[in-house]
Structures are given as C-alpha cells and as structure tokens.
Amino acid sequence: MFSRLFQRPRRERTIAALYGAIVAQSRLPVFFSERGVPDTLEGRFESVCLHAWLVMRRLAMGGTATAEFNQALFDFMFADLDFNLRELGAGDMKVGDKVKDLASHYYGRVGAYDAGMAAKDDSSVLESALDRNLYGSTLPDPAHVKVMADYTRRQLAHLETFPIDRLLSGELEFAST
C-alpha cells in the first residue's frame, strides 16, 4: 500500500524531468538565432513538438512496456501547454478547445515527421514537413530547413541507441546540435 502512495509522485517527477529536458533542448538559442526557427509562441510550440516527437518515437520502440509511460509524457506535455495558455491569459472557456486543437496539430506533425523519416531516399519529404510545421507561416532559408532535417535525423539515430531504461528514469541526452 505504501509503495503505491510513493510510486505515483516519483513517476510524475520522472516524467516532469524528462519533459523538462525536452523543453530545454527545444529552447536552445541556436534554433532561433542561427537556424531560423521563429522565436514566437508558435515557433516555440513547434520546437517542443519536434523534440517531444523525437523522444516519444524512441519510447514507442519499447512497445507495450513503454506505452503507458509514453502516454503519460504526452498527457504531461499537454497539461503543461494548458497551464501556460492560462498563464498567458487565455480565457478559461477557450483553453480546452485550444489545447484540443494543439493536440490535433501535434498528431499531424507526428504523421508528417514519420513520413519524412520513412522516405529515406527522399530528404525533401522531411524537409517539407519541417518547412510546413517547424517554420510555420514564415519563409525559411532552405539552408536552415536542410540543417534542421539533418539535425532531426542525427537526433533520431542517437536516440535509437539511447537506453530506454534511462528515459524511463527521466534521463535524456540529445546528440550535439
């Protein structure tokens, strides 16, 4: 009985630590100052989505053993987005709908990024997905999009070798930017 009382808060702390590492990586100044990602609320959301997808894709490789943890990470991410929207002053009645929209957008990105990774012989698919999503309504320099596509592939290759048990304990290391 006591183990259940202490297990949940520990798991929540672990998920919070993992999500914190995702957010920290997504907010590195290099993305905004050197790679053209818009330094706006939308650009920051897109950067978090990209990095969350990288980690959640790795967790998904663990199959059913990591599915619940992966879902809890997703839920934590959107609870944080809900909190942040409220902190920014969004009306309570609209926050729920906005978070649902953001979740829908996230799933769209997952599909686009997964398709980009599946098209191994055609780098334009991932670059197009990044252009549409990470860069949003801006007109990015094609060189920036290419650098971010290379970065994304490098991160996925690194995370594919990163031990899942370390992710499940809240540890995360990205490859160099």
Tell me the pLDDT tens digit for each residue of 119-134.
Answer: 988 899 999 999 999 9
What CA–CA distances, in Å, run from 21 to 86, 102, 137, 153? 22, 20, 27, 19
Report the range of poorest mean pLDDT among 1-5, 55-59, 116-120, 152-156: 1-5
Determine the average pLDDT of the residues in 62-78: 95
Question: Does residue 24 have a pLDDT over 90?
Answer: yes
Is residue 85 in some structural domain?
Answer: yes
- Contact between 19 and 77 under an 8 Å Cβ cutoff? The reply is yes
Asked, for residue 26, whether it belongs to a domain, the answer is: yes
For residue 72, being part of any structural domain is answered with: yes
Q: Does some domain include residue 104?
A: yes
Query: Containing domain of residue 101, as a range?
Result: 7-168
Please check the confidence at residue 55 and state whether its pLDDT lies above 90.
Answer: yes
Structure tokens at 35: 């790679």
Side-chain half-sphere exposure of 9, counting CA atoms within 13 A: 4
Residue with tokens 């990095």: 51
What is the pLDDT, as a whole number, of residue 1? 44
Whether 174 is in a domain gets the answer: no
User: How many domains would you assign to the chain?
Assistant: 1
Question: Which uninterrupted H or E stretch holds 164?
Answer: helix 164-168
CA 134, CA 118: separation in Å to the nearest integer? 18
Q: Specify if 121 maps to a domain.
A: yes
d(CA 102, CA 96): 10
Least confident of 5-14, 82-91, 110-119: 82-91
31 falls within a domain: yes
Give a yes or no: residue 173 inside a domain: no
